[in-house]
Amino acid sequence: MRRFDDEDLTGAEFRECDLSRARLVGVVMQDAEIDGLVTNLVVNGVEVMPYVEAELDRRHPVRLLIRSDEPTDLREAWRQLRDGWAATAERVRSMPTNSEHQGVDGEWSMVETLRHLVFVHDSWFRRCVLGRTEPFTAFGLGPQFVMDQEKGLDPSARPSLDEVLAVRDRQASGIEAWLAEVTLDQLAQTAPVPDDGRWPPYAKGRTVRQCLGTVLNEEWAHHRFCTRDLDKLSPRL
């Protein structure tokens, strides 16, 4: 375990780091920002995550639908998520040319974010929920180690916003048709993940509902990131 004593970490950035069981004692933390999978976070003796989660639910009621097991709620969650992305697509079209290709603070651009969601659909819906083995969409964008190991993904791809949205529309139609017919029993079944060792390898044993939940959560989280960055980008243009 590494220990930092009397270190000045002002302005430091920790990206894709595992800080599980980290202890920050006697620290000064002003104007800090934490974004990620955070659980059981105790600040000055208070477990704060229930307050954070409740506030996120208040700001984003779709989260309640995403956590539901009822097909009707899941259909409504998907509709709201799609409406949110449609509004954001219209927003970026009203911004200066190429805004959709500009990232902020080292984060993905809007087009890169949408490419990642294309990859999420291929991985967690098409493969894990439907059990299909078609190649990934070439311009899909995953973690770097996945891009390096999965055949068919093209790290050099530079699709336009319209090209990515066209694929997203086709994928959305597939989810909508599936959600229109899915039952509680089907959601509770073990997901038919292909046994071919491809991404995501840790999905075996999960239920259909859990795999669908990954898709919905990724849609919500990355839309939040995207709108956050467009808010930061707008004053600069």
**What tens digit of pLDDT does each residue of 40-92 get?**
999 999 999 999 999 999 999 999 999 999 999 999 999 999 999 999 999 99
Q: Indicate whether 180 belongs to any domain.
A: yes
**What b-and-e string marks burial along 31-43, b requiring 16 or more CB atoms within 10 Å of the CB?**
eeeeeeeeeeeee
**Containing domain of residue 135, as a range?**
59-236
Q: Does position 213 have pLDDT exceeding 70, yes or no?
A: yes
- Asked, for residue 66, whether it belongs to a domain, the answer is yes
CA–CA gap between residue 58 and residue 52 (Å, rounded): 10
Residues 6+ apart with CB under 8 A from 140: 115, 116, 118, 119, 122, 153
216 within some domain = yes
What is the predicted pLDDT for the residue at 237?
54
Question: How many separate domains does the chain show?
Answer: 1
- Give a yes or no: residue 38 inside a domain: no
pTM for the whole thing?
0.91
Q: CATH code at 216?
A: 1.20.120.450
Assess if residue 76 is contained within a domain: yes
37, part of any domain: no
Which tokens go with 55?
């506030």
Domain annotation covers residue 27: no
Residue-wise pLDDT tens digits, 82-123: 999 999 999 999 999 999 999 999 999 999 999 999 999 999
